[in-house]
Amino acid sequence: IAEGRRAKAIKKEVDVIMLMSTMTGTVTQMLINKDYYREFNDHKKISASAYEALFKENMSRHLKHLFKATLGYE
C-alpha cells in the first residue's frame, strides 16, 4: 500500500482498516444471503456447483470494482 501511494496509484486518504472492514462486511453479508441472492437472480435452475462458481465470480468482480473505485484516482 505504501508503494502504491508513492507511485500515486492509490489515494493517500484511504483508510486501510476501514477498507478491510468493508471487504469483510461485504463478503459476510453475501455469504449469509447467498440463498436469497440465488433466488432473486433466478439461479435456482442451475446446479449447486455451477451456482457456487458463478457466485464466487460475481463477488470477486464486485469487490474488484469496489476496491478500484475506492483506491484509484479514476
CB proximity list for 62: less than 8 A, separation 6 or greater: 26
pLDDT for position 65: 92
Residue type, 24: T
Q: What is the pLDDT of residue 73?
A: 59
pLDDT per position in the chain (74 positions), as tens?
A: 677 777 777 766 778 888 889 999 999 999 999 999 999 999 999 999 999 999 999 999 999 998 888 877 55
Q: Is the distance from CB of 68 to CB of 57 less than 8 angstroms?
A: no
Domain residue spans in the chain?
Answer: 2-71
Residue 26's pLDDT is 95
pLDDT of residue 8: 72
Give the C-alpha distances (Å, rounded to integers) separating 43 from 14, 35, 37, 53: 36, 10, 8, 12
pTM: 0.75
Task: State the cell numbers at 50.
Answer: 455451477
